[in-house]
Chains A and B, each alone.
Chain A
Amino acid sequence: MASPSSLSVDLSQAFVMAPPGLGEWLVILPPALMITAGALLMMMRHRVDRHGFIAIPALVALVLIDAALLWKVSTGGPVTMMMGRWLPPFGIAFTVDVLGALMALVSALAGLAAGIAALTDISDSGRRYGFFPFLMLLMAGVSGAFLTGDIFNLYVWFEVLLISSFGLLILGSEKQQIDGALKYAVLNLIGTTLFLISVGYLYAIFGTLNMADIALKAREINGAPLMTLSALFILAFAMKAAAFPVNFWLPASYHTPRITVSALFGGLLTKIGIYALLRVIVMLFPVQREELSLVLAIVAVLTMVLSGLGMLAQNDLRRMAGFAVILGIGNMLAGIATDTMVGLSGAVLYALHSILAMTALYLVIGRVKALTGSWTLSAGGGIYSMAPGFAFVSLALFLAVAGLPPFSGLWPKIMLVKASVDIGAWWLAAGILISGFLATIALGRTFLLAYWRPAPESAASVIAGPLKQDRLAAVAILGLAALIVLFGLFPEAPLSLSQQAATGLLDPQSYVRSVFPQGGAQ
């Protein structure tokens, strides 16, 4: 047998020979940084007082890296980095286009806001249970899911963020939390298992897991059961995104953990399901998407209207916010269902708005509890006279969540209504408008009862607590509110970015070319 050294092997047949450029490293840095920070914090579990000094700079760095990445892909097109230098379609590809970078950046901003609010909201015992390490690993999972270009890798990132979300959800181990966590864990686990089943079938059909490769092959393949496959993917991702018939885990669990954790979940987790729907159904299976768009539209209308009614029926503010999260999901699904350029960019824009607005909404509710001593509409009151500035910011946020001008919720809603009217689906447009109307009533009532109503006599004793002045939570809420106002007043930049993202989804040529520079490995 010949010794290996005597053989001359042409490595360029199997490997990317050029070393990755500086810009390509940006693709892998976000998850790598978050995992490193998480590991570091876990090693420091006895020094919980120092956790904030590592976690917050790490989150700031994440925001900066994601911003640089977005700048790079929006000016120079999608970027690919191959893990282990294997030539695609072998090896795991990290491919970032405008959609992925945009979602990653906005999620990092929401994560940073939640991290800042957590500095006062999460007590020492919560930190000893590992709040900050879990936060870092959750952000690693979120960034990885947005940046990967490999469908099995997407599944793995889903699981990474799922297990960290379990840890965050049961932080404190109160009875309510365990009750909510059991339902959340079981149903989400079934959802990701469905995703894994679909990935197995997908590999059996295509023989590849690289998304760019699948996008190429799905347009040529004949006679494969792609409709079944797309339906399975839609079911799995709808479960993750909390679309109507499979969303009962969300109102059962999102109000149980600490309010900062709720803010993180409400902002980030469901949007990952929407992102996966956009990436897999819209980009990979265009023909099947067209066939299934009616189903998606019906699901969207039911999700929106029923969650609007759910918002009206809740006395607990946190549970009302849970239904507000689902209402946003219905709007995004409507955009996906219209299957047009305008609708898709509306859905992307709504996802960005929803990440910021939902995180802020939960944080505001946390402040309401700190000020009035109650989570409910029936017991609270009198915030307007206690903290007029905070009431002003809250009103702006409520208007943004309801989709009223001049805040960020308006623009995506206009695009979604226009897209549905364009394809002649008046009932879809009606659903969007009715759900917005229901949300306006529910949030307006919240302002009326919790802010304008004079404080009840019994609540006067609670108010002198130390949490009343919470500067860090105020910083987080003000930062998010400033972004929402800017987004509402100057929508050109997010609008053009979301259009770029939708173009990339409808015509993934530049995505494919970034993975296969020579136009296909076959």
Chain B
Amino acid sequence: METLFAILVGILFSAAIYLLLSKQSVRVLLGIALLGSAVNLLLFTSGRLTREIPPIIAAGLDALPNNTANPLPQALILTAIVISFSFFAFLLVLTYRAFQELGTDNTDEMRLAEPKNEPMPPTGY
């Protein structure tokens, strides 16, 4: 199970990186969403994948049996999902506004903050 997930996470990462390298800002955005999912799955896998053993402490014991899934990474994912979701929402609006204001979704043409052919500082007066 873990091996399968490791391969899946790898595929997601490579797809995300491929999209991040694109020049279209929407693709970059999708790449970020995919990257977030890949990381969440990675965290999920790091806490052992099993559904056979319920995480219940039996009467008379004071700890979980050894091979139950670790609940902590799942709590971490929960935090990470909330964070990445809110960032994604922000980025979505930002990308849309950038497309409206700058009239392009090509990152090569977004040169307003760093214009080409900026004058060099004067060498004397």
Point out residues on A near B: beta carbons under 8 Å: 152, 156, 159, 162-163, 166, 170, 173, 175-183, 185-186, 189-190, 193, 196-197, 199-201, 203-204, 209, 251-253, 255-256, 312-316, 376-378, 381, 445, 449, 453
In the complex, whether B83 has a CB less than 8 A from a CB of chain A is yes
Known: A166-B94, A178-B94. 5 other contacts (CB 8 A): A178-B98, A178-B102, A181-B94, A186-B91, A196-B80
Is the beta-carbon distance between A197 and B46 smaller than 8 angstroms? no
Q: Hey, which chain B residues are within 8 Å of A209, CB to CB?
A: 72
* Given A255-B113, A315-B119: A203 in contact with B73 (beta carbons within 8 A): yes
In angstroms, Cα B93 to Cα A181, docked, is: 12
Q: Hey, which chain A residues are within 8 Å of B86, CB to CB?
A: 163
Shortest A35–chain B CB gap in Å is: 16
How many pairs of residues, A versus B, come closer than 8 Å at their CB atoms?
107
Is the beta-carbon distance between B36 and A377 smaller than 8 angstroms? no
Shortest A244–chain B CB gap in Å is: 17
Q: Hey, which chain A residues are within 8 Å of B42, CB to CB?
A: 197, 200
In angstroms, Cα B110 to Cα A203, docked, is: 39
Point out residues on B near A: beta carbons under 8 Å: 20, 25, 28, 32, 35-36, 39, 42-43, 46, 72-73, 76, 79-80, 83-84, 86-87, 90-91, 94-95, 97-98, 101-102, 110-114, 118-122, 125
Q: Hey, which chain B residues are within 8 Å of A175, CB to CB?
A: 101-102, 112
Q: Hey, which chain A residues are within 8 Å of B46, CB to CB?
A: 200-201, 203-204
Is the beta-carbon distance between A173 and B97 smaller than 8 angstroms? yes
25 contacts across the A-B interface (CB closer than 8 A): A152-B79, A163-B90, A173-B101, A179-B102, A179-B113, A182-B94, A182-B98, A182-B110, A185-B90, A189-B32, A189-B91, A190-B32, A193-B35, A193-B39, A199-B76, A203-B73, A203-B76, A251-B114, A252-B114, A255-B113, A256-B113, A313-B120, A315-B120, A378-B119, A381-B125
In angstroms, Cα B102 to Cα A182, docked, is: 11
Is the beta-carbon distance between B121 and A200 smaller than 8 angstroms? no
In angstroms, Cα B46 to Cα A518, docked, is: 30
In angstroms, Cα B36 to Cα A203, docked, is: 18
* Given A166-B90, A315-B119: A453 in contact with B125 (beta carbons within 8 A): yes
Q: Which residue of B lies closest to A188 (CB)?
A: B87
Is the beta-carbon distance between B32 and A182 smaller than 8 angstroms? no
In angstroms, Cα B76 to Cα A185, docked, is: 22
* Given A182-B110, A193-B39: A152 in contact with B76 (beta carbons within 8 A): yes
